[in-house]
Structure 1
Amino acid sequence: MDEFDPAPEPDRQRWQAGTDTFGRVYDVLLGTTAPTPYAEIAETADCSPNAAKKHLDRLTEMDIARADTDGQPARYARNDAYFEWQEASRIAREHSVDDIVERVHELETKRSAYEERFDATDPSGVSAFDADGHDAVHERMAAIGDWQGIVREIRLYELARQITQNDGHLIPA
């Protein structure tokens, strides 16, 4: 084994002993944000490409993964919408509708402050580099990142509110 091997054999053996192939492919998929060839996922999950593809296809059927099978080789990435749904469901379980509505109100107030500060309604249209000096650019980048987080959190809490108000469903039953 090369001393620079990113996954030394003892760690790999411990992973294999405690996790089946499906679990390893799932774990690797969680860190896959860009479409990645299934053979690369297999290599990281320490399994055959055929096994990885089989499990990735199953994860795609479950909407946990996104698949791009038009090109060759097939590429896979995690489905962020699935994980957002999971997070919104957790919020719905842990908070009352009143708590959720109050949190959304707090977040909307913060969002409005950023919209006024940057004279824009969407943080993706604001450049961090429209500032003079390194510190000002850095501060602006942090503010834009915070604003993006607030927008995401509003979306999650709104989804949680809908789930809570509709007895666990997104739309009324």
Structure 2
Amino acid sequence: MDRFDPAPTPEDRRWGDETDTFGRVYDVLVGTTTLTSSAEIADIADCSPNAAKKHLDRLAGMGIARADTDTQPARYARNEAYFEWQEASRIARELPIEAILERVDELEAEQQAYEERFDADDPATVSAFEGADHEAVHERMDALSDWQRVVRDIRLYALAHQIARNDGHLIPA
């Protein structure tokens, strides 16, 4: 804070009084997609680096965080696989198998249309900057982003189908 800034008021604080340290660290982690030091997470979560590291190690043990402990200091990020598993489990609970399969068919048709449009099998291999002007580039970026969503959703719904087919388990019990 600059020495000329006013003192923060309770309304300026990021966290309410009801959010404990673990909850703040969890909330920051959920928004962290690149490996980040526990000190940086602690700064955002308004807690000590030691408290953040303790909670991050706990979250890594639960599979919610991924940790790179080979670096000093250790760095953490959300574990995308955990959140995909949670989403697939929710889909499996909420939708009948027939609806899941129908959605997979719809998504696969969308994916095929994108593959034909861009003459490629993977959106990561397509450049967004082949447009003639800013508007064309922007439209191409939107389409590639949507294609990536389709690929992710196919993965989620296929996993949800497998979970639903096996009574909530990934493999038959």
TM-score over 0.5 for the pair: yes
Aligned partners of 2:138 and 2:15: how far apart in 1? 39
Q: Show CA shifts across 1:44-90 (max 9, x none).
A: 11111111111100000000001111111111111111011111111
Unpaired runs of 5+ residues, structure 2, are none
Alpha-carbon spacing, 1:153–1:90, altered in 2? closer, same or farther (3 Å): same
Letter in 1 for 2:98: D
TM-score (norm 1): 0.92
Q: Which residue number in structure 2 is paired with residue 117 of structure 1?
A: 117
Superposed, 1:70-109 pairs within 5 Å as: 70-109=70-109
Relative to its length, the structure with more helix (as a share) is: 1
Letter in 2 for 1:40: E
Deviation at 1:134, TM superposition (A): 1.8
Greater shift after overlay, 123-132 or 92-101? 123-132
Superposed, 1:1-173 pairs within 5 Å as: 2=2, 8-11=8-11, 15=15, 17-173=17-173
Greater shift after overlay, 108-117 or 15-24? 15-24
How much is the aligned-residue C-alpha RMSD, in angstroms? 1.9
User: Which SS does the other structure have where 2:17 is aligned?
Assistant: helix
The ranges of structure 1 where at least 4 consecutive aligned residues each deviate by more than 3 angstroms after the TM superposition are 1-5, 11-14
Greater shift after overlay, 124-133 or 11-20? 11-20
Unpaired runs of 5+ residues, structure 1, are none
Aligned residue-pair number: 172
User: Which SS does the other structure have where 1:17 is aligned?
Assistant: coil
TM-score (norm 2): 0.92
Letter in 2 for 1:169: H
Deviation at 1:15, TM superposition (A): 2.6
Identity value in percent: 70
Aligned partners of 1:24 and 1:128: how far apart in 2? 36
Deviation at 1:94, TM superposition (A): 0.8
Greater shift after overlay, 35-44 or 155-164? 35-44
